[in-house]
């Protein structure tokens, strides 16, 4: 399921995000990168409907996102925030079941099918054994996986993740990126995410979008777009690109 942007403008205080045209491919991992304050999270929230995009600016499979009812939007697109602190100490299975809200009729309780979908999502991220554990008992990395499981339980074709590896150690960062990559390859999810780790973005992404001061500087496949000139233009410091064992590494 593809997302297309056309004449997107979003303003607040002294910042303006402006994207004239951009398309995110289906069943692929697209990563938005750029310096702090570039508008990455704002862009992601506009794409997911968290922030109100103007009509006629964001399209999901040709449908205007701004005109979709909330439940219909949830069936197409799931959003995973950077971090989540719950006011209630839910059991993990109950927390993941919240992803089924768009499928549960008003004043009804989740069905056996909803519970099965939540357990399947937990199993996919490797946390099925924690289904009965309290949310507060999880580590930061485990909470990220539970948030992804909740998004998977929505059964949406588009998955949007905001800085999912923040504060994770190298092992858990790699594991999470492997999982996100698998979602695009195995489950054919259209995955959009923001990252600060350029090496991870280059290694795992099908498409990179470079954002600076609310504008798209470059977008395309890493092997086609990545250059030392582009990195210096976006980040305002010189960087070197080194190749080793078929991979590109960025040295600051």
Local confidence band at 104 (pLDDT 50, 70, 90 cut-offs): confident
The dihedral formed by the CA atoms of 235, 237, 240 and 246, expressed in degrees to the nearest 10: -20
Q: Is residue 93 part of a domain?
A: no
pLDDT at 141: 85
Token code pair at residue 99: 């992803």
pTM: 0.91
Q: Could you give the percent of the chain with pLDDT greater than 70?
A: 98
Total structural domains within the chain:
1
Q: Is residue 24 part of a domain?
A: yes
| Higher pLDDT, residue 167 or 180 | 180
- DSSP-assigned letters across all residues of 62-99: TEEGGGS-HHHHHHHEEEE-S----SS--BHHHHHHGG
Local confidence band at 35 (pLDDT 50, 70, 90 cut-offs): very high
Mean pLDDT of the chain: 91
Closest CA to 227 of 203, 204, 202: 202
Instruction: Please report which helix (H) or strand (E) contains residue 55, including its range.
Output: none
- Rounded CA Rg of the chain: 18
Provide the residue range defining the domain that includes 62.
Answer: 3-83+156-251
pLDDT at 85: 62
CA–CA separation, 248 and 252 (whole Å):
13
Given a cut of 60, is residue 38 above it in pLDDT? yes
Q: Is residue 108 part of a domain?
A: no
User: What tens digit of pLDDT does each residue of 41-58 get?
Assistant: 999 999 999 998 889 999
Q: Could you give the percent of the chain with pLDDT greater than 90?
A: 72
Q: Is residue 79 part of a domain?
A: yes
Helix (H, G, I), strand (E, B) or coil at 211: strand
Non-local CB neighbours of 231 within 8 Å, separated by 6+ positions? 198, 239, 241, 250
Given a cut of 60, is residue 6 above it in pLDDT? yes
Local confidence band at 110 (pLDDT 50, 70, 90 cut-offs): confident
Q: Is residue 26 part of a domain?
A: yes
pLDDT at 87: 54
pLDDT at 205: 97
Q: Is residue 118 part of a domain?
A: no
Helix (H, G, I), strand (E, B) or coil at 60: strand
pLDDT at 84: 64
Q: Phi and psi (nearest 5°) for 165?
A: -100, 5
pLDDT at 46: 95
Helix (H, G, I), strand (E, B) or coil at 52: coil
Closest CA to 138 of 78, 89, 87: 89
User: What tens digit of pLDDT does each residue of 213-230 get?
Assistant: 999 999 999 999 999 999
Q: Is residue 139 part of a domain?
A: no
Local confidence band at 64 (pLDDT 50, 70, 90 cut-offs): very high
Given a cut of 90, is residue 237 above it in pLDDT? yes
Residue 96 burial (CB count, 10 A): 31
CATH number, domain at 238? 3.40.50.300
Q: Is residue 131 part of a domain?
A: no
């Amino acid at each position: 399921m593809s997302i297309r942007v056309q004449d997107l403008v979003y303003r607040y205080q002294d910042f303006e995000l402006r994207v004239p045209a951009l398309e995110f491919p289906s069943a692929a991992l697209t990563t938005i990168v750029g310096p702090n304050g570039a508008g990455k999270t704002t862009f992601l929230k506009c794409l997911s409907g968290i922030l109100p995009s103007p009509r006629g600016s964001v399209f999901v499979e040709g449908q205007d996102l701004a005109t979709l009812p909330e439940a219909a939007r949830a069936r197409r697109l799931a959003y995973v925030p950077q971090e989540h602190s719950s006011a209630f100490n839910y059991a993990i299975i109950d927390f993941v079941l919240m992803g089924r809200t768009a499928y549960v009729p008003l004043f009804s309780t989740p069905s056996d099918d909803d519970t099965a979908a939540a357990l399947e999502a937990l199993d996919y991220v490797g946390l099925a054994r924690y289904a009965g554990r309290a949310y507060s008992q999880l580590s930061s990395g485990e909470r990220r996986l539970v948030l992804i499981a909740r998004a998977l339980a929505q059964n949406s074709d588009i998955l949007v993740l905001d800085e999912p590896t923040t504060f994770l150690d190298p092992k858990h960062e790699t594991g999470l990126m492997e999982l996100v990559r698998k979602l695009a390859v195995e489950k054919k999810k259209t995955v959009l995410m923001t990252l600060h780790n350029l090496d991870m973005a280059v290694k795992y992404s099908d498409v990179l979008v470079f954002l600076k001061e609310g504008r798209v500087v470059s977008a395309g496949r890493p092997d086609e777009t990545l250059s030392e000139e582009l990195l210096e233009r976006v980040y305002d410091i010189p960087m070197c690109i080194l190749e080793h064992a078929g991979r590109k590494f960025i040295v600051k």
